[in-house]
Amino acid sequence: MKILLITYYFPPCGGAPVQRWLRFLPYLVKRGYQITVITSKGGDYPFIDESLCEKIPPAVEVIRVPAPKMAGIWRKLSRSGSDIPYGKMPEKQKGLSRLLIWLRLNLIIPDLRVFWNPKALRACFAELSRKPYDAIITTGPPHSTHLIGLKLSKRLRLKWFTDFRDPFSQIHYLRLNPPSRLSLAAHKYLERKVVSGADLNLVVSQEWAEALPEGRKLVIHNGYNPQDFAGIDYTPSEQMRIKYIGQFTQGQDIGLIAALCSRLNRPYSLSLIGSKIGDIEAAQLRDETSNRLTIKPFVPHTEAVREMVESELLLLIVNDYEGNRGMLTAKLFEYLASRTPILCFSADGTAAARTIKECKAGKSFGYQQISEAAVWVDQLQLGAKTEGDILSYSVEYQIDKLDKALRS
């Protein structure tokens, strides 16, 4: 079966956006799929991780289409020197920066990466005229990529699968920074067109599948790849190594970590790995941890996995906003595979909290239950690893479902 995968984020882009399909591709190739990827070249990426290119199966053809450099334009116009927004909108902006945020939220729909679409669409038509394909898959965010699939599907009548790694109109940064009613209506209109027009919509959680408009849907979790953890052994420590791996996005309160650490009554160290935080937040954390804080910039994925295993506690903060029940990040499943206990701050009833409980992988607490969480951490046995059943969240288990859906 020949598949054309269209994705803005792909190695050498690093971070969470690429992990899902980078895990899926080797397993699909082993099952006989012939896959071509059309992706951006020189896009606005959150991180660069050249090592991930080695994980692309040699059989997968990659076509890279130049993308507009919006980051430089953003920095010049905002006059702030700040990075282009990724996963959040800058808060407490004034003057021109505030106007740019308003324009981004209300006039550039569904997202800034939509300016890549014309070139990407031409590349897709060229590739589809060069050789036949059985289906196309578009994955988002950015959800503007799904608009490419919508046009291709209508014009060529190809089977089309969407892949929603995050919600569309209910994505967290739109819920926390509501656009105008007219703009939100435009988001919802495009969302309905995409979901109803696709032959099948793949979604990362049941809650988010139910939140999407009417259409055919299938839950495919991000999952974890056991091979990523092969040969990585835990080394005991005399103190608890507490780690947060990854970025902080809007709706995640880093102050929860500071408050937790200030209440601990045992020796510990705190590491933020691959996290971008402001000077004020860093100073607050250093004060609360008595300078037991280490902040590491972005690290290659293999090193991030090792950091997960080489720790006694992993922190997870579910973004605090209405609509967070279905949030299941790629990071959570790697946390599970590391077998390191997880401390999660979450609202009641979220998919993340439920998954951690079902897998006996740690403990979840409400955003206000900091003292209770500290007591639990103080009582954790140093070096204890989790032993719950996580097999159903392996990539191979998810591929079984995906394979069946693609061939149906």
**DSSP tag of 184:** H
pLDDT at site 138: 98
Q: Do 82 and 182 share a domain, yes or no?
A: yes
Q: Do 50 and 112 share a domain, yes or no?
A: yes
Q: Among the residues of 7-84, which ranges form H helices?
A: 16-30, 70-78
- Give the chain's domain count: 2
Cβ neighbors of 347 (< 8 A, separation 6 or more) are 318, 320, 324, 325, 353, 366, 367
pLDDT digits (tens, 9 = 90+) for 143-193: 999 999 999 999 998 999 999 999 999 888 888 888 999 999 999 999 999
Mean pLDDT of the chain: 92
pLDDT at site 92: 52
Q: Do 254 and 365 share a domain, yes or no?
A: yes
Question: How many C-alpha atoms does 185 have within 13 Å on its Cβ side?
Answer: 3
Distance CA 269, CA 342 (A): 16
- Residue 167, Cα to own-chain centre: how many angstroms? 11
Residue 306 near residue 241 (C-beta atoms within 8 A) = no
The answer, yes or no, to whether residue 294 has pLDDT greater than 60, is: yes
The answer, yes or no, to whether residue 47 has pLDDT greater than 60, is: yes
- 79 pLDDT band, cuts 50/70/90, is low
Distances (CA, A) of 69 to 112, 364, 372: 10, 40, 46
Q: Do 130 and 18 share a domain, yes or no?
A: yes
Q: What percent of the chain has pLDDT over 70?
A: 93
What is the value of pTM for the model shown?
A: 0.90
The answer, yes or no, to whether residue 330 has pLDDT greater than 70, is: yes
Q: Do 150 and 292 share a domain, yes or no?
A: no
Q: Do 23 and 161 share a domain, yes or no?
A: yes
Q: Which of 194, 145, 191 is nearest to 168 (CA)?
A: 191
pLDDT at site 322: 85
Distance CA 182, CA 185 (A): 5
φ/ψ region of 50 (left if φ > 0, alpha if ψ in -120 to 50, else beta) reads: alpha
The predicted model gives 307-322 an average pLDDT of 95
Q: Do 48 and 146 share a domain, yes or no?
A: yes
Distances (CA, A) of 344 to 57, 90, 204, 373: 34, 25, 19, 9
Residue 228: what are its φ and ψ, rounded to 5°? -65, -20
Q: Which of 274, 338, 330 is nearest to 310 (CA)?
A: 338
Q: Do 216 and 284 share a domain, yes or no?
A: no
Q: Do 162 and 284 share a domain, yes or no?
A: no
pLDDT at site 326: 92
pLDDT at site 279: 86
The predicted model gives 229-238 an average pLDDT of 94
Q: Which of 22, 29, 49, 42 is nearest to 298 (CA)?
A: 49
Q: Which of 11, 33, 12, 15 is nearest to 402 (CA)?
A: 33
The answer, yes or no, to whether residue 81 has pLDDT greater than 70, is: no
Q: Do 206 and 58 share a domain, yes or no?
A: yes
pLDDT at site 297: 86
User: Helix or strand or coil: residue 239?
Assistant: coil
Domain that holds residue 354: 226-389
The predicted model gives 206-224 an average pLDDT of 95
β-sheet bridge partners, residue 293: 270
Work out the end-to-end distance of the chain between its first and last CA atoms, rounded to an integer number of angstroms.
Answer: 12
The answer, yes or no, to whether residue 231 has pLDDT greater than 80, is: yes
Q: Give me the CATH number covering residue 355.
A: 3.40.50.2000
Q: Do 173 and 237 share a domain, yes or no?
A: no
Q: Do 170 and 294 share a domain, yes or no?
A: no
pLDDT digits (tens, 9 = 90+) for 89-118: 555 555 566 777 778 888 899 999 999 999
